[in-house]
Amino acid sequence: MVVGIMTVQLFLSEADTLKNKRRVLKSIIDQVKARFNVSIAEVGEQDFWQRSTVGVSFVCNEGTYAHKVFAAVIRLIESQGMVSVVDYQIELL
């Protein structure tokens, strides 16, 4: 059993209020949950308009599969256009 954990640092260039930031993040979080069946939530920088830290986790049986899923999640987030991935870290337990 492999537990995959990914932390993603995001920059929301178009967010000018916390309300707008939360709207954009909710859309991204809902899309990722629906498409990949992972757990995802904002875990840091909640009080900043243009920055966010999102945590993604799930359980699988192979480390290579975990890396494929995380890569697909990053591609989906970047394809939104409203947000840029600044950095991400993957940890497998």
| Strands across the sheet containing 39-44 | 39-44, 51-60, 2-11, 84-92
Question: Is 80's pLDDT higher than 90?
Answer: no
- Say what the pLDDT of residue 14 is: 80
What is the Cα–Cα distance from 66 to 74, expressed in whole angstroms?
12
The domains of the chain are located at 2-92
Q: Tell me which architecture the domain covering 2-92 has in CATH.
A: 2-Layer Sandwich (3.30)
Question: Is 15's pLDDT higher than 90?
Answer: no
- pLDDT per position as a tens digit, 23-58: 999 999 999 999 998 999 999 887 888 899 999 999
* Mean pLDDT for the stretch of residues 58-77: 93
- Say what the pLDDT of residue 82 is: 83
Pairing between strand 39-44 and 51-60? antiparallel
